[in-house]
Copies of this chain bind each other. A is one copy, B any other.
Amino acid sequence: MAPKRVDRAARREEILGAAVRVFARKGFAASRIEDVAAAAGIGKGSVYLYFASREALLTAAFEELASTSADILREARADSRPALDRLAALVHAVLRSMAQRPELSRILLDLWSASRGGEGLPLDMGAVYADYRAAVAELLREAATEGAVRPEVGTRHATVVVAAVEGCLLQWLVDPRLPLIELADPIVSICLDGVRLGATR
């Protein structure tokens, strides 16, 4: 009756953590269930007590990332500063969050690949980015209301802002020497003010 020694959810998290480490290092395709079990310090079969299949581990990692994203977006919405400040904060929050959990972030490489339309896993990074775009578009709309951005700014601009963030992430993932955190300011700066001389002010 009383949860054994380790409660189910905690053990599940342990295994997922191990899976994330393994996937981050070798990639999902090259990661064996046995690797994950070994990384978690348990037997191969035990993984199946907590996850239905190897793919379920990737799905769970996706859900963790998606949930992190949702948290960040929720906070951005709860924020009450001027819209552009909140946009800047959002950009920083995303990059900081990724930089803080580099192993989870590397899973993105596999999640993108697995998000290839239709038949694959129940895993849709497209939806995550749609959420980001919606949030950024809303912020830009508010900023327009506040008279802070040009009025023709719309959904496509939101897409580009999200792109700047995710594109930096991408470059960092394929070349971890890039200073991810330090890209936050240039992203904000460019997205707000561009690079053209005299553009600011």
Seen from chain A, the residues whose Cβ lies within 8 Å of a Cβ on chain B are 26-30, 84, 106, 109-110, 112-117, 119-120, 124-126, 129-130, 133, 140, 143, 147-150, 153, 156-157, 159-168, 170-171, 173-176, 178, 182-183, 186-187, 189-201
Copies of this chain held together in the complex: 4
Contact between chains at B186 and A157 (CB < 8 Å):
yes
For A129, what are the chain B residues with a Cβ–Cβ distance below 8 Å?
A: 170-171, 174-175
For A176, what are the chain B residues with a Cβ–Cβ distance below 8 Å?
A: 117
Contact between chains at A192 and B195 (CB < 8 Å):
yes
In the complex, how many angstroms separate the beta carbon of A175 from the nearest chain B beta carbon? Answer: 4
In the complex, how many angstroms separate the beta carbon of A126 from the nearest chain B beta carbon? Answer: 4
24 residue pairs bridging A and B, Cβ less than 8 Å apart: A26-B119, A27-B113, A27-B116, A30-B120, A112-B112, A112-B170, A112-B173, A140-B195, A143-B195, A149-B197, A150-B196, A150-B197, A157-B186, A157-B195, A159-B178, A160-B164, A160-B168, A162-B171, A163-B164, A163-B187, A167-B168, A190-B194, A192-B196, A193-B193
